[in-house]
Every structure is written in structure tokens, then in C-alpha cells.
Structure 1
Amino acid sequence: MTRQATSNTTTDGETRAISPIIGVLLLVALTVCLAAVIAVGVGAWTLESPGSTATFELSADGDQSSISIEHVAGDAVDVEALSVTVAVNGTELAEQPPVPYAGASGFNGTPEGPFNSGADSEWTVGERASLSVADTNSPPLARGDSVTVTLAIDGRRVATLEATAT
């Protein structure tokens, strides 16, 4: 039995080499895609700490125009790094409480608890902070109003609390 050798030659005598070229191109494309995926994954890693974790409860008294926030669980909060934003029925108060403070425009008297500038600057579990919204602040706080308080530390929101004024 005679065996005939077949060759990969074209009619003009050149040898074909398409398969190896396609294989090399596919390997290069796969390597580039893998490198891009790894670069994106490494870029997504952050070295920042996740920040403070704490739980709070909000209550509001429409008759007294007062707002009270209790720290019920979690990490202690540095009040000097804290910002408080109060909204009544979805509208932010014209004057926001500059915590800590001892008398501020838009608020009656001095706040109680850690919001008071004379108190310890660390707000720990079990402590209650309260403030009284003045009639000169807008919108006024009344019974039945929806109150939203946002607490942020160094610009990072820690909690958004909602309650209905009683």
C-alpha cells in the first residue's frame, strides 16, 4: 500500500500557517483581557477603614419642639467630627445644629447630652442627646410632623433616622 503525502501548499507553492497565527492571536487577546480584569480588581481595593458603626433611636415631641436621639448600640462617636442635619416633613431646617454647641441660632437654650459643648466629646451607648427647635427656625416642628435626622462623621453618613412627632 502506497501512502501519498499531502502537503499544505497552495497552487503557487507557499506553505499554509494560518492555524498557528490564530492561536497566537487568541492567546495574546486572552492575556490582555486577563490583565485588564486583574487591574480593575486591584483598583477596587481600598485601604480605608469602614468607619464607625453605631445604632441610634430618634424621638420627637411636637408640643415641645424637641428632638432626642439615643445611642443604643455600637461604636462610640466623636461628637466634634459629627454633623447633624434635621428635616421636618422632608424640608431641611433653615438653621442646622452646629454640634457640639451651647446656644445656637434657630435653637432654644443649650442641648442636653453629648451635643452640649460642655459635655464629653465622645457619645457612647446609653447616652441621649436632645435639642429644642426654636419657633424662629423654619419649618416649625409640630405634632404629627415627620422628622428625619441624618448623622454624619467627617462627611460619611452614619445613620438616617425617622420618627413622627408626638
Structure 2
Amino acid sequence: MIPSIRLTDGRRSGPTDRPHPAGDRERRTEVRDERRTEVRDERRPSSEGPRSPIRSDRAFAPIGVVLLILLTTVLAGGSAVLVTGAVDPIDPAPTATLSLSVQDRTVTLTNRGGDALSIPDLRIRIRVDGDPLREQPPVPFFSAAGYEPGPTGAFNSAGTTTLGPGERASFRIAGTNDPVPEPGSTVELRVFDGEQPVARLTATAA
């Protein structure tokens, strides 16, 4: 018979009270499983609160994009207004009734009525039978290549350079220019104020 030993806590220890290794492993496994379950439960997202702020942020994102687009459009419109307002308006071209005559290579322009023409602001281009003169008249001038010196009226830089209503001015094409108008030639004269056309006149050379 195996004697029993009394322990300090009052229990008896005997052969049947020895710890069973297999039972201990099972208990440790159960403890680990319970801890893993608790960890998974803590990491598992709740269906009630935590996701609500995320959904709210996503809902505000499209509103922010729309506001940004509106702000960009307003700024672009303001810039366009500033640029447009900074451009000076173009002055209208003068309005006048003009007539043209060509006699023995002398070209005469007459203002029959309307606005006075400032000759330094004008460009004159001449064609003879459809071909442009090699040397165009640099009005006003006193002496220029391709023209006889001493034009008259407002074409002469030494005098008044304004061709008012009832006034005329003339210059004579030199024989060294090309093509030289001959009797029967069609002479076309165009008047420009800067880049704006003022008149287009034709005459038959006499």
C-alpha cells in the first residue's frame, strides 16, 4: 500500500493526483485558442460607428471637386475680362468720297467730301493693268525712288499733309518705275488707314 502525503493546503497527494501531461497540453491549447479568438474579435471591424466617418469623407469629396472647378472657372473668367478690358479699341477708318484721275503718268487724288485724310497715316498701293508698281509711293514725300520730285498738295512732305474735302494732291510716276502707265492702261489705287481699307479706285490712263 502506497502511503499518502498531506499537502499544505490540506489535500492528499497520491498516484492519482499527479499532473497528466496530455491534459496540460489540452488546457494550454484551449487558452491559446481563446486568446486568438479575442484578438480576432478586437481586429474585426464593427458594423456600427467606425465606418460612418469614412463614408462621410467620401461623400464630401465630389463636393470639393465641384467647388474647385467653379473657382477655376470664375478666376479664368475674371482674367479674360481683365485682358479684354486692357485692349484699346480700334479707331474706325476715316470715311471720305474720293476720285482718281491719271494723266501722262501723273496720279491725282481728290477728296470730294467726308472726313479729312491724314496722309502720314495712309498707305497707297498702285497697280497698272493688274501688276503692282515696283516702287510704291511713300506718301508724303518730296523725292523718292520711282517718282518725279516735288509732288503737290498733301502728298508733299514740305507742306500740309491733310487732304480735306474739296482738296486734291498728286504725284508723277517716273519712267524708271515699272510698269509705267500708258494711255489706255487701267490704274488701280487702294488707300489704307493703317491696315483698314479706306477706298479702292480705278481710272483709265489718258
TM-score of the alignment, normalized to the shorter chain, above 0.5 = yes
Aligned to 1:41: 81
Give the 5 Å matches for 1:50-89. Answer: 50=91, 53-61=94-102, 64-71=104-111, 72-74=113-115, 76-89=116-129
**Contact 1:53-1:158 at 8 Å conserved across structures:** no
CA change 1:13–1:36 in 2 (3 A) is same
Mapped pair 1:150 → 2:187:
no
* Cα distance, 1:10–1:146 mapped onto 2, change above 3 Å: farther
Structure 2 counterpart of 1:98: 138
In 2, Cα distance between equivalents of 1:107 and 1:10: 98
Alignment counterpart, residue 71 of structure 2, candidates 31, 41, 48: 31
Deviation of the 1:138 alpha carbon: 0.8
The structure with the largest strand share of the pair is 1
The one-character-per-residue Cα deviations of 1:98-132 (angstroms, maximum 9, x if unpaired) are 32233433224532221123431222223222222
Distance of 1:94 and 1:24 partners within structure 2: 66
2:173 to 107, 124, 133: 133
**Structure 1 residue 14 corresponds to structure 2 residue 51:** yes
Residue-by-residue CA offset, 1:7-53 (whole Å, 9 max, x unaligned): xx978941212333212211210120121122123212323662652
Q: Which of 130-139 and 48-57 deviates more?
A: 48-57
> TM-score, structure 2 length as denominator?
0.59
- What does residue 161 of structure 2 align with? 121
Assess if the C-alpha contact under 8 Å between 2:139 and 2:156 holds in 1: yes
Identify unmatched segments of 5+ residues in structure 2: 1-45
For residues 76-107 of structure 1, give each alpha carbon's deviation from its aligned partner in whole angstroms, at most 9, with x where no partner exists: 33334444332334433122223223343322
Q: Indicate if the aligned counterparts of 1:88 and 1:148 stay in contact, CA closer than 8 A.
A: no
Residue-pair matches, total:
154
TM-score, reference length from structure 1: 0.70
The answer to which structure, 1 or 2, has the higher relative contact order (CA under 8 A, 6+ apart) is 1
Q: Which runs of 5+ in 1 are unaligned?
A: 1-8
Structure possessing the higher radius of gyration over alpha carbons: 2
The alignment partner of 1:27 has SS state of helix
Structure 1 segments, 4+ long, off by >6 Å, are 9-12
Distance 1:130 1:56 in 2: 16
Name the residue aligned to 1:165: 204
Distance 2:47 2:203 in 1: 86
Percent of matched pairs sharing the same residue = 21
Q: What is the CA-CA distance between 1:146 and the residue it aligns to?
A: 4.7
Contact 1:54/1:158 (CA < 8 Å) preserved in 2?
no
Quick one: which amino acid aligns to residue 151 of structure 1?
A: F
